[in-house]
Amino acid sequence: MRIVVTGGAGFIGANFVHTLLNDHPEVDVNVLDSFTYAANESSLTDITPEQAKRLTITRGDVADMEIVDEVVRDADAVVHFAAESHNDNSITGPAPFIQTNLIGTFTLLEAVRKYGTRFHHVSTDEVYGDLELDDPAKFTPTTPYNPSSPYSASKAGSDMLVRAWMRTYGIPATISNCSNNYGPYQHIEKFIPRMITNRLVGIRPRLYGEGANVRDWIHVLDHNEAVWEILQRGTIGDTYLIGADGEASNKEVVHMLNEIMGHPQDDYDHVADRAGHDLRYAIDATKLHEELGWYPSFTSFREGLEETVRWYTEHEDWWKGEKERVEAKYAQKGH
Ligand code: NAD
Ligand code: TDX
């Protein structure tokens, strides 16, 4: 089986490529990635010579029709991770989000329509907007779309394109909307790796606003296992929500990280809040449990965080070069 993984040099995509190479020897992988600032070449180098024979890396833009046509023509399936993915960047500069998330997804859809290729679209729970802290309801596949940021609006738009191509052209596709991921290879602009690497270089963690915002954390390997199950056994045309019941406020996460890293719980600074900051996300993954029997294997968020702290501590070479640039950008925003 030949699988194209778009965005395979980014956080979730690179973890997915490792899973394919490690656990699915029948699969050959073609990574289609334009290597933006969010990609890291060394995320894909830690593989055996045998695995290297099954991996092709194609440097190209998902919005480039010619290159997309070329890679999709030879593929049995496309798993589409490539995106501009950081909310804060979408607030300061939305243009690349529209280009990659909308035009890029459109370009891929046209190619899979032409070749009849199986397509899986990786999306986010942020398309549903946010919940009140005390709302007993969680997001389900029938929750109305209500995105808040340029990022989540562009992802919502990309989901709509996939839905329209499924209904109108009957392309064999599925969609998943997942909650916040954490784990190895995540870019240090994102909350958890930023807080961990801040501690490692001697900067206090930075909480936006009061830190009351809640995210529903899932380990990246659990997300990817669910994507694999949907790709294999999901119902064509359906949407699946992926989550691991991992709700925690940002303040609780920083407390835990401080404890794990040997600092007093309240050793952090409050900084300016994010514009339009979503309050809470929460996923109801019942459909995945009942239809595909998928359950997360990382059941302790604290243990997952401990492992993630270890990974960043042991892989300074992977992130150190980016730290100054990322922090300079945050400093400009008062973050
Ligand atoms: P990331 O920013 O770490 O990686 C994105 C990758 O896409 C990078 O390698 C980048 O070079 C590549 N890319 C960007 N623009 C491209 C283009 N025009 N052409 C080709 N490649 C391009 O993102 P991530 O956190 O790994 O997220 C992957 C996907 O999962 C995204 O679609 C995101 O919306 C979705 N998602 C992420 C999370 C999360 O918590 N990180 C949660 C739910 C869903
Ligand atoms: O320094 C920080 N301090 C802070 O308090 C940063 C970087 C973030 N935060 C807060 C903002 C959010 O409430 O932490 C929370 C998580 O922030 P991010 O890591 O930027 O993630 P979020 O905006 O929730 O979006 C993430 O999850 C859904 C991914 O970046 C998206 O790609 C995914 O769709």
Q: Which tens digit of pLDDT belongs to each residue from 135-189?
A: 999 999 999 999 999 999 999 999 999 999 999 999 999 999 999 999 999 999 9
Q: Is 7 in the pocket of ligand 1 (CB under 6 A)?
A: yes
At residue 175, the pLDDT reads 99
Separation of CA 123 and ligand 1 centre (Å): 9
- Please answer whether residues 105 and 121 qualify as being in contact, where contact means their C-beta atoms are separated by less than 8 angstroms: yes
Would 333 be classed as within a structural domain?
Answer: no
Does any domain span residue 209?
no
For residue 149, which atom of ligand 2 is closest to its CA? 23
- What pLDDT is recorded for position 334? 85
CA of 6 to the centre of ligand 1 (A): 9
Residue 12 domain-assigned (yes or no): yes
Q: Is 89 in the pocket of ligand 1 (CB under 6 A)?
A: no
Ligand lying nearest the CA atom of residue 126: 2
CA 38 / ligand 1 centre spacing (Å): 8
Ligand nearest to the CA of 243: 1
Domain of residue 151: give its range.
2-187+219-245+281-299
Please write the tens of the pLDDT for every residue from 207-237.
999 999 999 999 999 999 999 999 999 999 9
Residue 275 located in a structural domain? no
Residues labelled catalytic? 125-126, 151
Which pTM value belongs to this model? 0.99
CA distances from 157 to 128, 138, 166 (A): 12, 21, 14
Closest among 157, 70, 163 to 114, alpha carbons compared:
70
Digit-coded pLDDT (tens) for 95-140: 999 999 999 999 999 999 999 999 999 999 999 999 999 999 999 9
Q: How far is CA 43 from the centre of its chain?
A: 15
Angstrom distance (rounded) from CA 323 to CA 321:
6
Average pLDDT over residues 249-268: 98
Atom of ligand 2 nearest to the CA of 253: 14
Indicate if ligand 1 lies below 6 Å from the C-beta of 38: yes
Contact criterion met (CB below 8 Å) for 267 and 208 = no
Pick the atom of ligand 1 nearest to 36's CA: 11
CA distance 292 to 128: 23
Q: Which strand ranges, in their side-by-side order, compose the sheet holding 239-242?
A: 55-59, 28-33, 2-6, 77-80, 118-124, 173-178, 239-242
**Scanning the structure block, which residue is given the tokens 């994010």?**
274
217 CB less than 6 Å from ligand 1? no
The pLDDT value recorded for residue 192 is 98
CA–centroid distance, 273 to ligand 1, in Å, is 24
Please, which residues bridge with residue 36 across strands? none
Does residue 265 belong to any structural domain of this protein?
A: no
- For residue 43 and ligand 1, the question of a CB distance below 6 A is answered with no
Q: How far apart are CA 209 and CA 271, in angstroms?
A: 6
Share the mean pLDDT of the chain: 98
| pLDDT band at residue 319 using 50, 70 and 90 as cut-offs | very high
Torsion on CA atoms 164, 167, 172, 176, rounded to nearest 10: 50
Query: Longest Cα pair distance anywhere in the chain, in angstroms?
Result: 57
Find out whether the beta carbon of 36 lies less than 6 Å from any atom of ligand 1: yes
Determine the pLDDT at residue 190. Answer: 98
Residue 206 domain-assigned (yes or no): no
Q: How many domains does the chain divide into? A: 1
Task: Tell me the CATH number at 140.
Answer: 3.40.50.720
* Distance in Å, CA 278 to ligand 2 centroid: 10
- Residue 176 placed within a domain: yes
Task: State what percent of residues in the chain have pLDDT above 90.
Answer: 99
Question: Whose C-alpha lies nearest to ligand 1, atom 44?
Answer: 124
The predicted structure's pLDDT at residue 267: 97
Cβ of residue 85 lying under 6 Å from some atom of ligand 1: yes
Say how many Å lie between the first and final Cα of the chain, rounded. Answer: 45
Q: Give me 133's structure tokens.
A: 């802290």
> Alpha helices of the chain — where are they, by DSSP H?
11-23, 49-53, 65-73, 87-92, 95-97, 105-115, 150-169, 191-201, 220-233, 250-260, 286-292, 301-314, 316-332
Is 330 a domain residue?
no
